[in-house]
Every structure is written in C-alpha cells, then in structure tokens.
C-alpha cells in the first residue's frame, strides 16, 4: 500500500508540474497518463489528492507562502512547489496519513525529482505548516 501511495503522489506531482508548464493541460488526463506510466498507482487516492489540491489551491498556496515568506511561489523550484502543494494539502485538509508520513513522502519525492536543496526546503516548509498553531 505504501509503495502505491508513493507512486500516486509522484503521479499527482507530475500532473501539477505539467499543468504549470502547459496551461492547456487537463490535470486529470495528465494524472491518468502518469499513473499508467508509473504502474501500481492507487488511482482512487491519486484522483482524490489531485482534486483536493486543485479545489483548495488558493488556501494551500497561502499556507506555503506564509511558511516560506522569503520565497515567493514563482521563485521556488517548480518541482518543490508542486510537492509543497501536495504536502500542504495533505497536512491541512486530508486526514488519511499521519503528518510524519506526509512529510517523509514529500521529502523523498523532492530528493528524487527536485534540486539538491529541494528536500531540505520541502522539509522546512512542511514542518512549519505541520506545527502551526
């Protein structure tokens, strides 16, 4: 199950990234294509996650920006930005994984797909969001 959810988060990250780079991209179609390429994706979880991120995008971006005030969204590494949207959404609005799991997943994906400093950056921002009062 954990591996399927990990791949699901990667598929969602890729769909969000593709949407950023190509405005006409339909996120759901991109998600389906990415899930097929990755295989073993929990498609139901991925679809709910993508829909949640997109429906709460303004709130999620505001939370990320609040906890990374020196880094405007457009200045962030695009992969880290997409990962942060997913992680922040899960921490703030989803209740199906403990915060430590959400943060570890995001950090691992950032290390695998992002810049050298991406994992540290994602860790710092998500940790601040998770511990906000």
**Structural domain of 86:** 2-130
What's residue 1's pLDDT?
Answer: 54
Is the model's pLDDT at 124 over the cut of 60? yes
Q: Give the Cα separation of 48 and 69 in Å (integer).
A: 29
What's residue 133's pLDDT?
Answer: 47
pLDDT single digits (tens) 85-109:
999 999 999 988 899 999 999 999 9
Q: Give the Cα separation of 9 and 17 in Å (integer).
A: 12
Q: What is the 3-state secondary structure (H, E, C) of 80-132?
A: HHHHHHHHHHHHHHCCCCCHHHHHHHHHHHHHHHCCCCHHHHHHHHHHHHHCC
CATH code at 10? 1.10.940.10
> Total domain count for the chain?
1
Between 1 and 48, name the one with better pLDDT: 48
What's residue 2's pLDDT?
Answer: 62
Sign of CA dihedral 28, 34, 39, 41: negative
Between 65 and 37, name the one with better pLDDT: 65
Q: Specify the pTM.
A: 0.92
Q: Give the Cα separation of 82 and 31 in Å (integer).
A: 13
pLDDT single digits (tens) 7-60:
999 999 999 999 988 878 788 888 888 888 888 888 899 999 999 999 999 999
């Amino acid at each position: 199950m954990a591996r399927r959810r990990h791949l699901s988060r990667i598929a969602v990250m890729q769909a969000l990234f593709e949407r950023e780079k190509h405005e006409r991209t339909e996120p759901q179609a991109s998600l389906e294509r990415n899930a097929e390429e990755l295989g073993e994706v929990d498609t139901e979880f991925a679809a709910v996650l993508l829909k949640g991120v997109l429906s709460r995008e303004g709130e999620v971006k505001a939370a990320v920006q609040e906890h990374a005030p020196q880094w405007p969204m457009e200045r962030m590494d695009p992969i880290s930005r997409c990962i942060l949207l997913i992680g922040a959404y899960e921490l703030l609005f989803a209740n199906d994984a403990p915060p430590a799991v959400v943060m570890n997943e995001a950090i691992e994906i950032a290390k695998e797909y992002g810049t050298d400093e991406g994992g540290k950056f994602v860790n710092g921002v998500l940790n601040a969001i998770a511990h906000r009062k």
